Amino acid sequence: MLSKLIDILPLKGAEGAVVICVHVNPDGDAIGSALALKHYLERKGKQATVIVPNVFPDFLDWMPGADSILVQTNQNHKEQIKTVINEADLVIVCDLNQPNRLAGLEELIMQSTAPRILIDHHLDPADFCQVAISEPEMCATGEVLCHILSQSGELDDISQDEATCLYTAMMCDTGAFSFNSNRSVVFEYISRLLARGIDKDQIYRNVYWTATEARLRLQGYLLYVNMKVLYNRHAAIITLTNEERRRFKVKNGDTEGIVNLPLQILGVRLSVFINEDTEHPGTMKLSLRSIGDFPCDQMASQFFGGGGHKNASGGKLQCTMTEATERVRSAIEAYAEMLK
């Protein structure tokens, strides 16, 4: 299916220049899916470049091909990114459903005359690509790609690098297959990726068990000092200011996964992490995680101008940390019945 889509779209030459772009603050699914596509396209003889709006977590920089990613916030990459997008024959937009999620890349991508393909798993995709492959019931964009490759009879012929990237994408978007991964086909795909020679244990260690001292100390501080558990509401809130970031010398990726930690507490069904935006002080980024049937996406949409998935969503608020915390408490109160 994917190879057919690429073949029918106008490419200027046999090698064809393809740009693959992902959402701002790229996570494991975004980076894994984009790199899997890059390796796939290069194996097919195309020129493929992955472009991201800003830096991605350090615990993903081991992935095959990660050192070739162009980052728009890197001043050394800006002109190259403009050139690559202007010369692209095809743009593949990965792991996002709205063009504004491209952040600083949005204008360049939308002005490009190259046709666009959307490959995603988020709800309610906007109509901004000529071809849209959107599968919200799937656990990750990595699974969407596995599905496409399986349907086209190519999944069992992919390279080890492609398989490694696809596995990482699915693993990261399911909390190591601890949520949103109850469908048997997910594990069928995992089995087929393992057959390509990937080391899933090493992938897990690379992502979840590789930490700086600063990351561990930050986690301890946030859990001991900044975590507030609302036992009567089965919820928890963790906060992190930019001042605290500087104090602990927080690096990119050090906060990844912190929002999931309170869900280990018996009875807690909802965790909210309020994280001050490093690039825009006064903007509070919110990450929501839940277990069971609690709808994070509804809460994020109603109170924080965001959205996402049922058990994993996000949003933003323009206010102080104190005001953001009160807004989160109000949201929790509004959903008190559903949190029982």
Q: Give pLDDT tens digits for 278-311.
A: 878 889 999 999 999 999 999 999 999 988 888 9
Residues 133-182 have pLDDT tens digits of 999 999 999 999 999 999 999 999 999 999 999 999 999 999 899 888 99
Boundaries of CATH 3.10.310.30 in the chain?
213-339
Q: Report the CATH number of the 2-208 domain.
A: 3.90.1640.10
How high is the pLDDT of residue 338? 97
Max Cα–Cα distance, the chain, nearest Å: 63
Where do the CATH 3.90.1640.10 domains begin and end in the chain? 2-208
Q: Which residues contact 290 (CB under 8 A, 6 or more apart)?
A: 263, 269, 270, 271, 296, 310, 311, 312
pLDDT at residue 12, rounded to an integer: 46
Q: Identify the burial level of 59 via C-beta atoms within 10 angstroms of its C-beta, where 0-12 means exposed, 13-18 middle and 19 or more buried.
A: buried
In CATH terms, the fold of domain 213-339 is Diaminopimelate Epimerase; Chain A, domain 1 (3.10.310)
Inform me whether the pLDDT recorded for 81 exceeds 80.
Answer: yes
pLDDT digits 0-9 by tens, 218-238: 999 999 999 999 999 999 999
